[in-house]
Amino acid sequence: MTPNINEQPREKLLKRGAASLTDSELLRILVGPGSSLASGSQLADHLLERLGGLTAILAAPAPQLLSIVGMGPAKVSILSAAAEAARRATESPPLGNPLPNPMALAPWLIAHLAGRPHEVFGAAFLDSRKRLIRIEELFRGSLSQTSVYPREVASRALQLNAANLVIFHNHPSGLAQASMADIRLTTSLRSLLGQLDIELLDHLLVAGNQVVSISS
C-alpha cells in the first residue's frame, strides 16, 4: 500500500501503529495543533532542532521548554507527563531477584539517565546472592562533572547491608568514553569497598542510548 503523504500523524498512528511515526510526528501529537506563533509541525521540528532529539526533549526541564517560542504551560505539562510515564513504565529488575549481570540494568539506566542535562551518580545495591536491594541516585552535578564522596557510598552500602554494588553515572555530552577521573573513582571505590568486604561488580557509563562498562 502506498503511504498517503498528506495523512495526519493521529490518523497514521491509528491505522499503522505508533511505531510507524517519525519523531516529528510523535511530537506533533503531543504538542497539539500549535499556536499563532507556530504550527504544530513547525513547533515539533523546532524542538528537535533546538534540543537534538526525543530523548533530550523528554529530559529537558520545564523552564527550558517554556523558553521555546510556542511552548506554553499546557504543552510543557504534556511533554513532562509523557516523559515521567515512560520512566515509570521502564521498571528496574524486581527487588529481591538475582541480577544476572550488571548490564541487565541497561534498559533502566537509559530510561532514567539518557538526556539528563546534568551528571548523575548512583548505585545498585545487591546482597550476597546478588539479589537487588535498591537502586538510588546518590549525587548530582553539572553538565561535565559530579562530586562523588566514596565514604558516603560505602556508608550507604553498609546501611543497606549490601555485599555487592554496581555504580553508574551519565555523560550528558553523549561521549561513551570514561575519563581519567571516572577510572580513578572506580579504583578508589573498589579499594575502599573491598576493605569492607563489599565487591564492586561494575561501573556503568550512560551516554545517550549507550551503556558501557568502565571496569568489567
Residue 69, domain extent:
9-89
Domain C-terminal end among 89, 111, 144 = 89
Tens digit of each residue's pLDDT (9 = 90 or more) over 76-115: 898 888 877 777 666 666 677 889 999 999 988 988 887 7
pLDDT tens digits, 14-63 = 888 888 889 888 888 888 877 777 788 888 888 888 887 787 788 788 88
CATH of the domain at 117: 3.40.140.10
What are the pLDDT digits (tens) for 169-195? 999 888 888 989 899 999 999 999 999
Region label for 199, one of left (φ > 0), alpha (ψ between -120 and 50) or beta (otherwise)? beta
Provide the pLDDT for residue 183: 92
Q: Which three cell numbers stand for residue 144?
A: 561535565
Q: Is residue 4 part of a domain?
A: no
Give the pLDDT score at 91. 60
58, with CB counted inside 10 A (0-12, 13-18, 19+), is buried
User: Based on the domain organization, do 184 and 121 belong to the same domain?
Assistant: yes
Q: Are residues 125 and 178 in the same domain?
A: yes
Compute the CA torsion angle 66, 143, 121, 206 (nearest 10 deg): 90
